[in-house]
Amino acid sequence: MSVDLSVEVLSSRHDRTSFRSGVEALDTWFRARASQDQRRRVAQAFLALTAGKVVGFYSLSMFTLALENLPPELNKKLPRYDAIPAALIGRLARSEDARGTGLGDLLLADAVRRVLAASESIAAYAIVVDAKDERGQAFYQAHGFVSLPARPRRLFLLTETAAAALRAAAAR
**pLDDT surpassing 90 at residue 145:** yes
The answer to the question of residue 91 being in a domain is: yes
The answer to the question of residue 159 being in a domain is: yes
Share of the chain above pLDDT 90, in %: 74
Domain that holds residue 56: 6-171
The answer to the question of residue 1 being in a domain is: no
d(CA 123, CA 129): 17
Q: What is the pLDDT of residues 119-144, one digit of tens each?
A: 999 999 999 999 999 999 999 999 99
**pLDDT surpassing 70 at residue 113:** yes
pLDDT value of residue 69: 86
Query: What does DSSP say about strands 83-94 and 126-130: parallel, antiparallel, or unpaired?
Result: parallel
The answer to the question of residue 64 being in a domain is: yes
**pLDDT surpassing 70 at residue 1:** no
The answer to the question of residue 120 being in a domain is: yes
The amino acid that residue 59 corresponds to is: S
pTM: 0.91
Residue 168 phi, psi dihedral angles, 5° rounding: -65, -40
End-to-end alpha-carbon separation of the chain, Å? 24
The answer to the question of residue 83 being in a domain is: yes
- Which CATH number fits the domain that encloses residue 166? 3.40.630.30
Our count of domains for the chain comes to 1
Residue 19 phi, psi dihedral angles, 5° rounding: -70, 130
Residue 7 phi, psi dihedral angles, 5° rounding: -120, 130
Q: What is the pLDDT of residues 25-43, one digit of tens each?
A: 999 999 999 999 999 999 9
Q: Residue 72 in contact with residue 55, Cβ under 8 Å? A: no
